[in-house]
Structure 1
């Protein structure tokens, strides 16, 4: 373990103000290690870091801003964190997980494979500005979670890293490396803004993911306008499964579900979806991943609508067909055109 500040062995550390700088590879700014030996799901030894009003800057590879592993607990308030190296998430976790609670501050990365947040833990961030200038905005691996409340997240993922064959802003996956237990991944975002400058807004592969969105301002600046892809990528060993729960949420763009993949899309509480569902998928390398849609279930409550921007293919539709605006296109349910649409 290497860091500018390392806290372990059941210690409780409080840091207020000041500047923490790290220039070496593998040297996190603040490292909270909970002592569980990297055993995912195991309790830590009580190691806790509370840090506020501090500037943290790292420039080496493998050097996160605030790092939590081994079941540690980190509370961070109003930090200014920047990282420049490869594999250097501003809010970083690794094997053994832990709990991270962040309120306020700015978190900026510019390295390859360096999202603003990388989660193999349970992470909650509120009222923060999160920016990734080269990589995904956030990554969740396996049985872990990220919750964002009133945050502004921007990502410009223009270069692939490792096994990845897609570019995306929210990546939810399982690498099978042992860094995270397999299970359901959770991404929850309430309020704030999500700006995706390159690639797909959401990408789910090799895991089961639940994405919950409420009143988020989503801006997709990529010309392909792909909201979500659920499909094969550079990892295997598990299914590609996603559930998207949208409440009081406007969604737009293509939803792509691979032929061996599954999506459940639930729109409630005056939500709207302007887009289409299909299974024709090409990755960032120009390779064909899928040619037809997999298993897709869409549910609209009585207050929510779907406006088609292309012919769409689902296996199940629940709701009033009158809440589907055909816009000159056709919604096929198990190969049969849905009637009664507007």
Structure 2
């Protein structure tokens, strides 16, 4: 797909990708506002019910084409003006921006002050890389289990409404920048599954590795 995202889910709808390979330019149609590999949103146009948008992918590959003009700028996932659940299991993600997920309000959809994103990201046996960025109207619950790994930085600019991170003992994260979360539930009480990598990890304002 040369002129679109791979998948777009609007409102109370869902998309499931299994044992498949998808590749797209990631180019949206709103003056670069909606460029992404996958977009979850609510347009408020009335053609999709309000509710939670769900994207599930297992044993698949999803790519933003390296030849795309936005390859180095578009996030893999973009969520705005909706609640969303993203379920990923044993999935390969290929993108060049270094931004795994962008969760934020825009002037394009929703009512100002109430149009951020509220995302639950579930990683199961999944390798994830890239920054997760949120604005002040947006929230994230990030769950890693069954040997999942995440390498990146979360809420680096401290702007998010809230971020909840949960890890089981088999899952690991490696920081590539200072990370700020509202709460942390780590089944490993020694935090040996967190590689601070020289960066700070703040939980509710207090550095875990002070």
TM-score (norm 1): 0.55
Which of these residues, 25, 33, 39, is aligned with residue 156 of structure 1? 25
Asked if 1:307 corresponds to 2:174, the answer is yes
Q: Tell me, which stretches of 5 or more residues in structure 2 are unaligned?
A: 66-70
Q: Which runs of 4+ in 1 moved over 3 A?
A: none
Match of 2:144 among 253, 267, 270: 267
Larger radius of gyration: 1
Q: Which residue in the other structure is 1:201 paired with?
A: 76
Mapped to 2, the partners of 1:218 and 1:190 lie a distance apart of 11
Please name the residue that 1:215 is paired with.
90
Give the match for residue 103 of structure 2: 230
- Structure 1: which 5+ runs fail to align? 1-131, 281-290
Count matched residues: 196
Give the alignment partner of residue 296 of structure 1, picking from 163, 174, 177: 163
Using CA pairs under 8 Å that are at least 6 residues apart, name the structure with larger relative contact order, 1 or 2: 2
Other structure's SS at 2:192 match: helix
How far is the alpha carbon of 1:164 from its aligned partner? 6.0
Cα RMSD for the two superposed structures: 1.7
What do the CA deviations read for 1:140-190 (whole angstroms, capped 9, x no partner)? 0000000111110112124x4137614101000000000100001110000
Q: Write out per-residue CA displacement over residues 310-335 of structure 1, whole angstroms, 9 at most, x where no aligned residue.
A: 11111111103221100111111111
Q: Distance in 2 between matches of 1:317 and 1:262?
A: 14
Q: Which string of whole-angstrom CA distances, capped at 9 and with x for unpartnered residues, describes residues 125-154 of structure 1?
A: xxxxxxx21211110000000011111011
Please give the secondary structure, in 1, of the residue aligned with 2:46.
coil
The secondary structure found in structure 2 opposite 1:148 is strand
TM-score between the two structures when normalised by the length of structure 2: 0.88
Question: Does the 8 Å contact 1:184/1:208 carry over to 2?
Answer: yes
